Amino acid sequence: MSGPQSSLLVTCPKAHPHVMVVTLDRPPANPLNLAAFRELKTTFDGLHERKDIRAVVLTGAGDRVFCAGADVKEINQRTVESSFERSVTYRGCFDAIYRSPVPVIGAINGSALGAGMVLAACCDFVIAAENARFGVPEINVGTLGGTRHAASMVPERMMRYMALTGETLGADDLHRVGSILKILPGTEVLPEAMRIADGIARKAPTMMRMMREAITLSSEMPVYEGYRLEQLFTNIAVALPESKEASDAFLEKRDPKFD
């Protein structure tokens, strides 16, 4: 996906062979135009065929802004047709990340605004830089935002405040309510995300994909139905060789070995 005209930098570092790093690469603010949304969708859809990838780290180029949101210059060239095209494209991108077959860690290296905050909300969890700010300030630029995604990351009242006022909140505000796992100096965000991704990549790969899917599907269900779905996944998982290797390794006090 990386190339001279690409909005993304996609790498699989040799030191982290089962981890894909997806970097939004339109500095200094990394805004998302339609091409960037499409590239993200293609990248995350492709993970269903990439059995070598066990975790993804999503980050942004630079040290001040993770993603400033959708490209306002592009939005300003508005027609009804282009608005519907954008809606379908945005939705497809966010859905591809939210329903990724492998865990996605948000390494939020700076402010995440509008579509940038939605990207963070689609991740399984987030590590943020101390200077990061979050918000859904679309009302300030004449559009409406992804408030439902934002509300999956922050409490409803906090989301309403950000959406209705156009104001942003700091990483410390989100950390206090459990929306951010860790706040770190900017230079430490990506290394910490990679450390966690490596730990995930050492787990049973097929079972990890099943766990991720079960969590995603059951989150949209009442507790009773969600737990029944998890039990179904568990009954399938325990028949896998990976399951036996994991339990054997635990009992034998050794590291498991997965292909």
Which pLDDT value is given to residue 76?
Answer: 81
Which pLDDT value is given to residue 56?
Answer: 99
Residue 4 has pLDDT above 60, yes or no: no
103-145: per-residue pLDDT in tens? Answer: 999 999 999 999 999 999 999 999 999 999 999 999 999 888 8
At 84, the amino acid letter reads F
86-109: per-residue pLDDT in tens? Answer: 889 999 999 999 999 999 999 999
Which pLDDT value is given to residue 223?
Answer: 97
CA distance 19 to 201: 7
Global confidence as pTM: 0.94
Residues 50-58 have a mean pLDDT of: 98
Q: Which two tokens stand for residue 69?
A: 């949101």
Percent of the chain whose pLDDT exceeds 70: 97
Tokens 């379908």 belong to residue = 88
Which pLDDT value is given to residue 79?
Answer: 67
Which pLDDT value is given to residue 224?
Answer: 97
Burial of 31 (0-12, 13-18, 19+ CB in 10 A): buried
165-190: per-residue pLDDT in tens? Answer: 999 999 999 999 999 999 999 999 99
Largest CA distance in the chain: 64
Burial of 72 (0-12, 13-18, 19+ CB in 10 A): middle
